[in-house]
Structure 1
């Protein structure tokens, strides 16, 4: 069986799982299920995996957040069935249903996740690295970054220990892909996104697909909220491809901004738009050569805009001094920006 056909069967199994959980099947639905299972010997295994995952969620994660996510998955199935009654169970595209179940699995993974042994990938200052992960996903590490992995048959857990990384996720809705940053977790089943850990802030850039973003303040994981106009909505609805979520420590909601041009991990440049000087310096320091940039507290919140060559700390410091009320104090291995 081709990879696409196997993936379609896994997604169909998710739909059947949700339908079975919702109540008794009609005689016509029973026949449709038997026909579907008879079509390939591996389908029973796919369905068993989906049912086992769903049963684990029911048994071990009876929190309000997970109950709401289960209802969301069932609602997605009901809407699909209303549009295409029985045919939906035979040949529907299951993306929306798979995404809904993935959210449930993601929340369960966030509740039960503990750091396990696994591979650790790291880069030094000024170094970038691309890694092919065991599941077929691709990890692109920015400079001075560390990511650890803990993969099991049920889930794919990664932790961004430091820095920034971009993930191109191999699709598998039955095996969520979760990136942990402190108390926050970013999850996808098949998509491309980046996660960056900064002092007092995390950032999630979305290149394609969609992700769920959860936060655990000590009472269990809940959906992160983001501002969209004058409303607060779940971050996964506000974050669209080509945008970036910024979540400051202690903030009630995240903000959404466009992804800066030239802000990928391959261009050799860093682009800032009204960036706090302390954060811009922190990002530049991942590429610092002989001297690192230090920002005095008095000027840390000044905003800088521009495109800078990664690793050229001297040019960055001089540009800041020329455009903001700062001056540069040069040390043996530091460039300190202080108030002018």
Structure 2
């Protein structure tokens, strides 16, 4: 082959995609000798495969303690370009989806806290709303009712007394009506979680209602009644107001959703079995990368950070 020329890519050139797939499997730890042999056979099959895998190692191998081989470098042709392009396209797509979601929410919101930001909002009736990072509300006050819609994230409310106009927080197709002064509402999955700091809150969902007392918490999913109130450590449940995330045996998927508020990027739990594993700990929300590292270590998981904006846990 003449200097400066490259072999044209063929229709069957999937070396880049296959290299990324093998990298992920190796990162997790191959489970059998047969799989190890299959990997070696694939890499030895032709120079294209070897080059693509070397490129993936060059970009991300330090994350897994792997390094590119010291043998003579294979020419950089279509397999390596394919691997790099696949990673770039994936990261760009994820970043675009995140930005579009944030923009759509901002258009609906009256008040919004950005990534890693907490914001205190003084409402017109003297009530106060404190927004966690990546959280937003829409305010719909009328002569008969004070309604706030939690569009994203989590918010804490300190409600001004006005018996003539109930204070209602709408969240996840349910609602929480203040029967006192202070409570917290967080969107979780298709529903929401309500934690009461002071007095009581009437939680309505799925055509049923339950009164949650001070020091208690209840949660509901879409089209389902709220669960029976449970006594909780309110200070721990609202630790985000002090820059902390305190969780006790919470599913990893829920924890990652919360961490995502403080991270300008995408964190995805690849395997359902891993997403359901329980996490406990006290974390500093100012350092999302450290939270991911601690979760990796405590649960024996692995993370691939394709870019600063795309992290995969498995």
Q: For 2:239, what is the secondary structure of its paired residue?
A: coil
Report deviation, 1:179. 0.7
The separation in 2 between residues aligned to 1:214 and 1:150, in whole angstroms, is 18
Q: For 1:285, what is the secondary structure of its paired residue?
A: helix
- Decide whether the 8 Å contact of 2:208 with 2:225 is kept in 1: no
Find the counterpart in structure 2 of residue 334 from structure 1.
310
Q: For 2:129, what is the secondary structure of its paired residue?
A: strand
State whether structure 2 residue 121 is matched by structure 1 residue 131: yes
Find the counterpart in structure 1 of residue 284 from structure 2.
309
Structure 2: 5+ residue stretches without partners: 1-107
The separation in 2 between residues aligned to 1:319 and 1:301, in whole angstroms, is 17
The separation in 1 between residues aligned to 2:109 and 2:143, in whole angstroms, is 16
- Decide whether the 8 Å contact of 1:159 with 1:179 is kept in 2: yes
Q: For 1:326, what is the secondary structure of its paired residue?
A: coil
The separation in 2 between residues aligned to 1:274 and 1:190, in whole angstroms, is 30
Find the counterpart in structure 2 of residue 296 from structure 1.
270
Match for 2:187 among 194, 197, 209? 197
- Decide whether the 8 Å contact of 1:140 with 1:265 is kept in 2: no
The separation in 1 between residues aligned to 2:158 and 2:136, in whole angstroms, is 17
Match for 1:158 among 148, 161, 177? 148
Between 1 and 2, higher relative CO (CA 8 Å, sep ≥ 6) is seen in 2
Aligned residues: CA RMSD: 2.0
* TM-score using structure 1 length: 0.56
The separation in 1 between residues aligned to 2:147 and 2:296, in whole angstroms, is 42
Q: For 1:173, what is the secondary structure of its paired residue?
A: coil
Q: How many residues align?
A: 203
Structure 1: 5+ residue stretches without partners: 1-117, 225-234
Q: For 2:204, what is the secondary structure of its paired residue?
A: strand
The separation in 1 between residues aligned to 2:127 and 2:271, in whole angstroms, is 40
Between structure 1 and structure 2, the one with the greater Rg is: 2
